[in-house]
Amino acid sequence: MSTQTLANPAPQTVATPPSAERKGLTKKELAADHPTWCPGCGDFSVLALYFKLLEKRKLQQDEFVSISGIGCSSRFPYFVQSHGVHFIHGRALPFATGISLSRPDLHVFAFSGDGDAFSIGGNHFTHTARKNVKMSLVVMDNQVYGLTKKQTSPTSPLGFKSKTDGWGAIDHPINPLKQAIAMGATFVARTTSTNPNHVLAMMEAAMDHDGFSFIQCLSECVEFYEGAFDAANPRKGGVFNEIPKNHDVTDEIAAYKLASTPFPGYFGVFYKVNRPTKNAKESEIITNARAKIQGQADWQLLQKSFERMK
């Protein structure tokens, strides 16, 4: 048996020319396939603005990755011409965490729906937030299970009639913003697919955040919950209230109070603080460990362990 093993590779850094010298990819170059969402679905807007973000930031296809779980929104990676994974239901964040930790040079985007992120993936949402893994999570929240044709989701309001709650939902819905703040997320924002400029601004702010950034994006399911967000859409008689300019985004209590405002509530960045990422902490441990072993290979360390056991 060979006694040589491969040492753990150092994080790779992709050499790219300065952004000023690069040309951003066009929507045609970024689009992989025609989206299969229902006509009128809010997810179309989110995908188009994702393309716009990538083009605006002049990211090349080997500089970002799109990860998703299961659900209508989680078809996202199929429609993006880049590296991406359509992963197991509720498990997009663990997969994205592995990519983020092993390839810190990449921009990692995770896309999910309210069922995928807050129900079956709820535990992963909690732990990815508290660990402050560097990535951006966009949850396209339509307050219903649309892919399976109308069941109550974790964000469906009380009284919502569905195939699982024919008499109306009796379980109290979760508030994703309050949950994210309480879990320790370092960037928490809210937007709606009917306001493209605002969606793009939130995506840009999330992408620039050094840590776990979470965006709740209201995205209407026109087939199974039509009109769910009309109260937040001025074109349908609603109101779009941006977060007051004097709001201190580092004030956790103030952010929690804003997030508690009854629907339609506020839109914008509720909370944003700087805290060391898991990426930075692990990198420090690895660097210290490599310095301690003074460049010895795995097999040499293993051989020393055997010798001590003799």
pLDDT at 16: 54
The residues, any chain, with a CB within 8 Å of residue 36's CB and separated by 6 or more, are: 75
Band (pLDDT 50/70/90 cuts) for residue 34 is: confident
Q: Reply yes or no on whether the pLDDT at 279 is more than 80.
A: yes
* pLDDT, tens digit (0-9, with 9 covering 90-100), for 111-120: 999 999 999 9
User: Is pLDDT larger for residue 59 or for residue 18?
Assistant: 59
* pLDDT, tens digit (0-9, with 9 covering 90-100), for 143-156: 999 999 999 999 99
pLDDT at 20: 59
* Phi, psi at 215, each rounded to 5°: -120, 125
Please state the pTM of the whole predicted model.
0.89
The residues, any chain, with a CB within 8 Å of residue 3's CB and separated by 6 or more, are: 299, 303
Band (pLDDT 50/70/90 cuts) for residue 18 is: low
* pLDDT, tens digit (0-9, with 9 covering 90-100), for 84-108: 999 999 999 999 999 999 999 999 9
User: Is pLDDT larger for residue 309 or for residue 198?
Assistant: 198
Average pLDDT taken over every residue of the chain: 92
User: Cβ distance 212 to 183 under 8 Å?
Assistant: no
* pLDDT, tens digit (0-9, with 9 covering 90-100), for 175-224: 999 999 999 999 999 999 999 999 999 999 999 999 999 999 999 999 99
For the segment 254-263, the average pLDDT, to the nearest whole number, is: 97
* pLDDT, tens digit (0-9, with 9 covering 90-100), for 72-87: 999 999 999 999 999 9
**What's the CA angle centered on 70, arms 64 and 75, to 5 degrees?**
55
Band (pLDDT 50/70/90 cuts) for residue 290 is: confident
Task: Give the separation between CA 153 and CA 284, rounded to whole angstroms.
Answer: 40
Instruction: For the chain, give the percent of residues with pLDDT over 90.
Output: 83
pLDDT at 7: 44
Polymer length in residues for the chain: 310
pLDDT at 3: 38
Cα torsion angle, 220, 50, 188, 102, sign: positive
User: Cβ distance 166 to 183 under 8 Å?
Assistant: no
Band (pLDDT 50/70/90 cuts) for residue 281 is: very high
The three-class DSSP label of residue 282 is helix
User: Is pLDDT larger for residue 17 or for residue 143?
Assistant: 143
